[in-house]
Amino acid sequence: MALREPVELADPHSIGPVHFIAIGGAGMSGVARIYQELGVEVSGSDQVDSANLRALADAGVRTWVGHDPSHVDGARTVVVSSAIRPDNPELVEANRRGLRIWHRSAALAALMLGREGISVAGTHGKTTTTGMTAVMLAHAGADPSYVIGSPLASTGRSAHLGGGSAFVVEADESDGSFLQYPSRIVVVTNVEADHLDNWGTPDAYFDGFVRMATRPEVRYVVANLDDPGAAHLVGRLASTGTVQVVTYGESAEADVRLSDLDLEGATASATLTRGRQSGRLELQVPGRYNLANAAAAYCAASLLGIDHDELLAAAASFTGTLRRFQLVGSRGGVRIYDDYAHHPTEIRATLGAARRAAGDGRVIACFQPHLYSRTQEFAHEFGAALALADRVLVTDIYGSREDPVPGVTGALVEDAVEAAGGSSRYVPDKGDLPAALAEEARPGDLVITLGAGDVTLVGPLLLPLLPDTGATGDRSARSL
């Protein structure tokens, strides 16, 4: 997959009808929904049926399961994601007809034209921070538009076309998409080398963030002073003098400072101080990293003029996004959570929160590696991070857009867990995971599924296999 370079944008009302290839994906479905809400004629296809596809159909979008060249009939613009291969029959036909072909990032960026753009970027924490920013602005009555990589737990929606001036987006760095968005405010949660299959080197990856933060329309950069990569970015930006930087973190030098942290249990709180203003930041979600995410959202919203006390109250109303330390349910004294963590740093932070939430119980981690290239690059680091759990089950790799690499399997991670002093078990077939976890779990344990693939289906299938003591689950089981 190649890096995306920004393209010239056009008024979203002028580009329709628009056809989305892989419209049911988490990222594509939200953008398609906003175009439909704008009154643009929208159609789309996906390889498999899904709840997102059915919801779009219910909203009036013409949808198909499967890809066929005829699906682009009538379209003027075709939107693709980075996962779409060049030989996709709809993309081939769109090229043959000379249709406008936009990457998802361009289609989203066009929606931001004329708005107060806020791009939330970073190696980790983008989804939660974008969600927190949207919720804070909405709580304050600003009615922002937003597109988030995962639905808000409170509404089940990942996108909204608001009447206010703000437009908040999760800005993906993996393929260079974050360079496309016209944003007045840029948030950088952290910078840690990733996606080197696209960027090539850590230096090139870092320089991508510099380029994003110094685009002509950017006026403010909000950055995490506790993160070495983001702090290095702050230093680079100081030498340019082109943007105003607002920092946050536990550092005494941060403009917005967190102190007196309470991280026990499944919530988190801290004292947040900005200048002479101070107050308690209370969250319904756990972890030090979520306090940092909330501070980032606070900074971005305050730059739009939202009151300090109103922002603290708004933060307390945030209940999370799906697949971010999401409670699947509990049964037989066992709590089951699901999390999107798929990078060693994310796994380490999530398991730290899980450890505190587990109390005296064990933490059992069920990990599905994501991408052959990432597994090959970070197998040792995955092992060290996962070893924080009391017991680890590793399944085979979710390849997504990549073809298999000989010798690269989940067994590399399982071996790395053992080498790091952890206790692990390799379960190659993900279909065997629910039964394997049922064998491992006992009352008091916290089980958490981890990964960016379809491991999210495991928790609901595990629930009915545990002894029934009257506890409940909140997600329906589906076949693996």
Report, as residue numbers or ranges, the catalytic residues.
126-127, 170
Supply angle C-alpha 261, 267, 271, rounded to 5: 30
Kindly report the number of other CB atoms within 10 A of residue 202's CB atom: 14
Residue 60 annotated as part of some ligand binding site: no
Residue 127 annotated as part of some ligand binding site: yes
Torsion of CA 440, 442, 448, 449, to 10 degrees: 30
C-alpha–C-alpha distance, residues 101 and 107, integer Å: 10
Residue 128 annotated as part of some ligand binding site: yes
CB within 8 Å of 7: residues ≥ 6 apart? 102, 103, 106, 180
Strands 159-160 and 145-147, how do they pair?
Answer: antiparallel
b/e map of 149-168 (b: 16 or more CB within 10 Å)? Answer: bbbbbeeeebbbbbebebbb
Residue 123 annotated as part of some ligand binding site: yes
C-alpha–C-alpha distance, residues 304 and 478, integer Å: 43
C-alpha–C-alpha distance, residues 295 and 324, integer Å: 17
Residue 319 annotated as part of some ligand binding site: no
Please provide the DSSP assignment of 223-271 as one string: EETTSHHHHHHHHHHHHH-SSEEEEEESSTT-SEEEEEEE--TT-EEEE
Residue 456 annotated as part of some ligand binding site: no
Task: Please answer whether residues 154 and 136 qualify as being in contact, where contact means their C-beta atoms are separated by less than 8 angstroms.
Answer: no
C-alpha–C-alpha distance, residues 443 and 451, integer Å: 24
Residue 126 annotated as part of some ligand binding site: yes
Report the binding-site residues for ATP.
Answer: 122-128
Binding-site residues from annotation: 122-128
